[in-house]
Amino acid sequence: MTAPVVQINHLRLGPPDHPVLDDICLTLEAGHFLGIVGPNGAGKSTLLNMVAGLSRPDAGHIDLMGQCLRRFNHLQLLREIGFLHQLHDHQPSMPMRVRDVVAMGLPAYNRPWQRSVRSAAIGEALALLDMEAHADADFRHLSGGQRQRVRLARALVRKPRLLLLDEPSAALDSVRQEKLFKLLRRLCDETGMAVIMVEHDIAAISSHVDSVACLNGKIHYHAMRGENIPDEIWRAMYGDRIHIVSHDAGCIGCGVAGDQDA
Ligand SMILES: Nc1ncnc2c1ncn2[C@@H]1O[C@H](COP(=O)(O)OP(=O)(O)OP(=O)(O)O)[C@@H](O)[C@H]1O
């Protein structure tokens, strides 16, 4: 039997009496598309950083493809995991072509003798995000949404087995958001890539993901596709004063419309 792509067991960060993350357990098989929702400061980015091996938990452990994450060296982690960090929109101070930004996602980007292989992979990744026509453009001259699509191409270019996305739809218009979620769904189905995606808008992601974990320090609920997330879970995460609205059938749970009195 193939080992799960990621297995997170009883993960904790911070002191037991005041943890940032507490008793986090999640398993992702190949092809699984997991959405994570939760309020600001819930620990979503912190969890992604730990899965990427960028920081260590205080308790619990993470297995990647059946092996303890700590046994992977830096290069192996780079090969297996694609990571799109939360948008900070830093831009290079020097001119940089779009294709060179994407090349930075390849573990072999500093090996000029592999130029033709690199070039094909870069073209493929840019095409997935409809950015191939901009391959030779200066990255700094693109719009914010176009730059975000280039960063997504950089995360995908090495065809990772696990893709970690921290609010990837930031800066994308709603048509592009929908296209992105559909692309991720297709890649999961066709290549077996597993995805963990942090997003705030559950209504936008619920028809694409396989499951949604509701995180605020701990996992309050892990809903499978089509399952309703109870109102008390939303209240436990966002507070009693939220206004909860239902949305289209087939989506997971309810949407949070915000605090009407705020
Ligand atoms: N190593 C650490 N030790 C203690 N606290 C930490 C550590 N890492 C992160 N935190 C704290 O954990 C909290 C969660 O931060 P995080 O960035 O993960 O939230 P988030 O859910 O991604 O929020 P947002 O939706 O605003 O991006 C923050 O208050 C942060 O300061």
In angstroms, what is the span from residue 221 Cα to ligand 1's centroid? Answer: 19
Written as one string, the DSSP assignment of 170-223 is TT--HHHHHHHHHHHHHHHHHH--EEEEE-S-HHHHTTT-SEEEEEESEEEEEE
pLDDT digits (tens, 9 = 90+) for 138-189: 999 999 999 999 999 999 999 999 999 999 998 889 999 999 999 999 999 9
What pLDDT sits at residue 253? 54
Nearest CA to ligand 1 atom 30: 41
- Asked if 62 and 51 count as a contact pair (C-beta separation under 8 A), the reply is yes
What pLDDT sits at residue 109? 56
In angstroms, what is the span from residue 37 Cα to ligand 1's centroid? Answer: 14
Higher pLDDT, 109 or 6: 6
The letter for the amino acid at 225 is R
Q: What percent of the chain has pLDDT above 70?
A: 89
Q: Residues lining ligand 1, CB < 6 A?
A: 13-14, 20, 38, 40-46, 86
State ipTM: 0.95
pLDDT digits (tens, 9 = 90+) for 102-133: 998 987 655 665 666 678 899 999 999 999 99
In angstroms, what is the span from residue 32 Cα to ligand 1's centroid? Answer: 25
State how far the Cα of 28 lies from the Cα of 6, in Å rounded to an integer: 5
What pLDDT sits at residue 262? 38
What pLDDT sits at residue 260? 44
Pocket test for ligand 1, best of 46, 216, 219 (most atoms within 8 A of CB): 46
Alpha carbon 30 to its chain centroid, in Å, reads: 15
Set out the domains of the chain in order of their start, with CATH numbers. 6-95+161-238 (3.40.50.300)
Q: Where are the beta strands (DSSP E) in the chain?
A: 6-13, 21-28, 33-37, 59-64, 67-68, 81-84, 162-166, 194-198, 211-216, 218-224, 243-246, 254-258
- Asked if 91 and 139 count as a contact pair (C-beta separation under 8 A), the reply is yes
| pLDDT band per the 50, 70, 90 thresholds, residue 74 | confident
pLDDT digits (tens, 9 = 90+) for 211-226: 999 999 999 999 999 8
Closest CA to 163 of 171, 173, 153, 176: 153
